[in-house]
């Protein structure tokens, strides 16, 4: 996937600009608040369904302008393509065209252009609790396997029903309500749980392999990362857990077993990364996981996604910075930074929403 050119019009603080990144690495350099993240967000919007910064899409329109428009020219590995996105200020409504043809369904806009974004908040994958890691895993797997997303949605719906039954049973002080009616829910949960946990295990195995190589390259062989997922359970095992602990669940007030409790373990040189890794080390691990995600996405889609790295260089030592700035042949990378960086990569300066 190569992003050749992006045209911006009244998008955030960018009145009008044309970005032509190098097919390898491009650094967007500038002071705080000048529009670096805005330029990256503009590229990412073509890949994702939503912005990573806002749920209110009318925020994308420059203050006072009637609409915002972005146009992307890219090569998808087979041919040259272009896509246009437009947002109206008043309603926040979005319009999309692919090679000039209007697209109305959201699902059809996804997957034409692929990109992997890394921004500072993604550090939470390493730093925070299990839910962030599950979310990372779920989103990464869903992008390469639509049937996974369907299983997950079904599972979550059944889990919510089962939890509602527990709550109702407690409110009415009627234990029998849950004890006698839990089985069909437990059965459906167990079925999807087996599917989900097998896929999580398989994906984690491949992700761990890739991330280990990447982190080792990034640190000149000094650090190793381990990523592991528990052994997947069978449907029978899940069902057993969900039927033999009903009293305990009733006391707790919610469902105690299932894939919503899974943990992805991350270790740095053998120690738990969340507790022991330094800031820069945690950032490196999260980056290695994101790059590995791109690597697996290539196995699936045949092409590397475009990598968008927002503000990742601070806290990283020179070896790590150079690994990211040199890039790897065949991968297109856009990096923002407010420091001036030593690099042979293409550097573009951004001031007040303009490319200098």
Options 37-45, 61-69, 155-163, 165-173: segment touching Mg ion (CB under 5 A):
37-45
> Is 235 in contact with 187 (CB distance < 8 Å)?
no
Pairing assessment for the beta strands 101-103 and 94-98 based on DSSP bridges:
antiparallel
- Least separation, in Å, of the C-beta of 36 and Mg ion? 5
Choose, by CB under 6 A, the member of 35, 232, 294, 327 that binds ligand ATP. 35
> Is 17 in contact with 5 (CB distance < 8 Å)?
no
Nearer to ligand ATP, 61 or 72 (CB): 61
Asked if 62 is part of the footprint of ligand ATP (rule: CB under 6 A), the reply reads yes
Choose, by CB under 6 A, the member of 49, 55, 56, 63 that binds ligand ATP. 63
Nearer to ligand ATP, 70 or 193 (CB): 70
Options 58-66, 183-191, 235-243, 326-334: segment touching ligand ATP (CB under 6 A):
58-66
Choose, by CB under 5 A, the member of 29, 34, 37, 210 that binds Mg ion. 37
Structure tokens at 313: 């260089």
Q: What residues does 18 pair with on adjacent strands?
A: 7
Provide φ and ψ at 234, rounded to 5°. Answer: -85, 165
Count interface residues toward ligand ATP (CB under 6 A): 16
Give the footprint of ligand ATP on residues 314-343 (CB under 6 A).
338
> Is 197 in contact with 259 (CB distance < 8 Å)?
yes
Give the footprint of ligand ATP on residues 2-31 (CB under 6 A).
12-13, 30
Cα dist. 293→51, 62, 188, 226 in Å?
19, 33, 30, 15
Q: Name which of Mg ion, ligand ATP, none residue 35 binds, using a CB cut-off of 5 to 8 Å depending on partner kind.
A: ligand ATP
Give the footprint of Mg ion on residues 104-133 (CB under 5 A).
none
> Is 350 in contact with 356 (CB distance < 8 Å)?
yes
> Is 293 in contact with 117 (CB distance < 8 Å)?
no
Task: Compute the distance between CA of residue 153 and CA of residue 197 in angstroms, rounded to an integer.
Answer: 14
Asked if 34 is part of the footprint of ligand ATP (rule: CB under 6 A), the reply reads yes
Q: Name which of Mg ion, ligand ATP, none residue 38 binds, using a CB cut-off of 5 to 8 Å depending on partner kind.
A: ligand ATP
Task: Compute the distance between CA of residue 60 and CA of residue 53 in angstroms, rounded to an integer.
Answer: 10
Task: Compute the distance between CA of residue 229 and CA of residue 21 in angstroms, rounded to an integer.
Answer: 38
> Is 273 in contact with 233 (CB distance < 8 Å)?
no
Count interface residues toward Mg ion (CB under 5 A): 2
Give the footprint of ligand ATP on residues 212-251 (CB under 6 A).
none
Give the footprint of ligand ATP on residues 290-319 (CB under 6 A).
311
Q: Name which of Mg ion, ligand ATP, none residue 33 binds, using a CB cut-off of 5 to 8 Å depending on partner kind.
A: ligand ATP
Nearer to Mg ion, 37 or 210 (CB): 37
- Least separation, in Å, of the C-beta of 92 and ligand ATP? 11
Options 17-25, 35-43, 59-67, 164-172: segment touching Mg ion (CB under 5 A):
35-43
Tell which phi-psi region holds residue 315, choosing left (phi > 0), alpha (psi between -120 and 50) or beta.
left
Segment holding 98, helix H or strand E: strand 94-98
Segment holding 17, helix H or strand E: strand 14-19
Binding site for ligand ATP (CB under 6 A): 12-13, 30, 32-38, 59, 61-63, 311, 338
């Amino acid at each position: 996937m190569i992003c050749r050119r992006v045209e911006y019009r009244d998008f955030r603080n960018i009145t009008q600009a044309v970005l032509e990144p190098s097919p390898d690495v491009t650094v967007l350099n500038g002071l705080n608040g000048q529009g670096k993240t805005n330029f990256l967000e503009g590229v990412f919007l073509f890949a994702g369904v939503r912005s990573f910064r806002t749920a209110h899409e009318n925020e994308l329109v420059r203050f006072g302008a009637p609409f915002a428009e972005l146009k992307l020219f890219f090569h998808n590995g087979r041919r040259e393509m272009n896509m246009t996105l437009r947002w109206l200020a008043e309603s926040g409504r979005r319009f999309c065209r692919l090679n000039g043809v209007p697209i109305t369904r959201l699902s059809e806009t996804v997957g034409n252009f692929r990109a992997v974004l890394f921004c500072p908040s993604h550090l939470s994958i390493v730093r925070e609790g299990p839910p962030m890691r599950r979310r990372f895993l779920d989103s990464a797997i869903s992008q390469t396997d639509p049937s996974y997303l369907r299983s997950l949605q079904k599972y979550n719906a059944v889990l919510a029903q089962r939890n509602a039954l527990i709550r109702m049973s407690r409110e009415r002080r009627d234990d029998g309500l849950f004890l006698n009616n839990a089985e069909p829910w437990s059965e459906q949960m167990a079925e999807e749980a087996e599917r989900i946990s097998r896929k999580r295990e398989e994906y984690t195995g491949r992700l761990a392999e890739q991330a280990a190589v990447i982190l080792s390259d990034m640190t000149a062989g000094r650090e190793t990362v381990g990523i592991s997922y528990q052994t997947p359970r069978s449907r029978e095992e899940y069902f057993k857990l969900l039927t033999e602990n009903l009293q305990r669940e009733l006391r707790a007030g919610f469902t105690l077993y299932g894939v919503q409790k899974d943990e992805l373990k991350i270790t740095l040189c053998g120690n738990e990364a969340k507790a022991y890794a330094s800031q820069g080390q945690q950032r490196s691990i999260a980056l290695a996981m994101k790059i590995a995600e791109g690597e697996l996405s290539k196995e699936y889609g045949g092409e590397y996604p475009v990598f968008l790295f927002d503000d990742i260089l601070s806290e990283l030592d020179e070896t790590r910075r150079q690994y990211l700035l040199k890039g790897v042949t065949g991968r297109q990378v856009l990096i923002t930074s407010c420091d001036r960086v030593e690099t042979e990569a293409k550097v573009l300066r951004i001031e007040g929403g303009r490319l200098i």
